[in-house]
Copies of this chain bind each other. A is one copy, B any other.
C-alpha cells in the first residue's frame, strides 16, 4: 500500500549554461541565449515526492511540514536568490541545466531521507520546460 506524497516549493535563481572547455562560438551554437555571459534567471518550481507506507498512528506517509522544512533548509537556503554558477558549490564545474539541478537536488535530499522511502524530484525551469529524476 504505497502512497506518494509531494511538496511543492520554489526558488528564484540566476544561471548561465556553457561548457568552459568549449569556445564561445561553440557554446553559442549549442546553448544559444542561455549562454549569455551575464546570466539570466528563472523562478524554479520544485516538486519533491516521497513514496512509502502510511504510518498507522498518524495517517501520514511523511509529514509534509517536515518535508517542506527539509527542502527549505537544504535546498532553498543555498539556491534561492543565488547565482547557481557562482554562489553554490555544486555548479562550479557542472553545467546548471535543469537536468543537472534536479539530480543535484535529489542527491542532497537522498542523504537526508530514510532509504525505506523512494525519492523523486520534478523541476519546472519554466512553465514549459520540465525535468524529472529519476525518470
Which residues of A pack against B, CB within 8 Å?
1-10, 12-15, 17, 19, 22, 30-34, 36, 38-43, 47, 51, 54, 57-61, 63-65, 68, 80-83, 86-87, 94-100, 102-103, 118, 126-135
**Is the CB–CB distance between B102 and A3 below 8 Å?**
yes
Q: Which residue of B lies closest to A26 (CB)?
A: B57
- Copies of this chain, tallied across the complex: 6
In the complex, the chain B residue whose C-beta lies closest to that of A6 is: B130
The interface residues of chain B lying within 8 Å CB-to-CB of A47 are: 130
Would you mind naming 29 contact pairs between A and B with Cβ atoms under 8 Å apart?
A3-B133, A3-B134, A4-B135, A5-B98, A5-B129, A7-B130, A8-B127, A10-B127, A13-B40, A14-B38, A14-B40, A19-B58, A30-B58, A33-B80, A33-B81, A34-B81, A38-B83, A39-B41, A40-B41, A40-B83, A41-B41, A58-B95, A58-B97, A59-B94, A59-B96, A59-B100, A60-B97, A61-B99, A61-B131
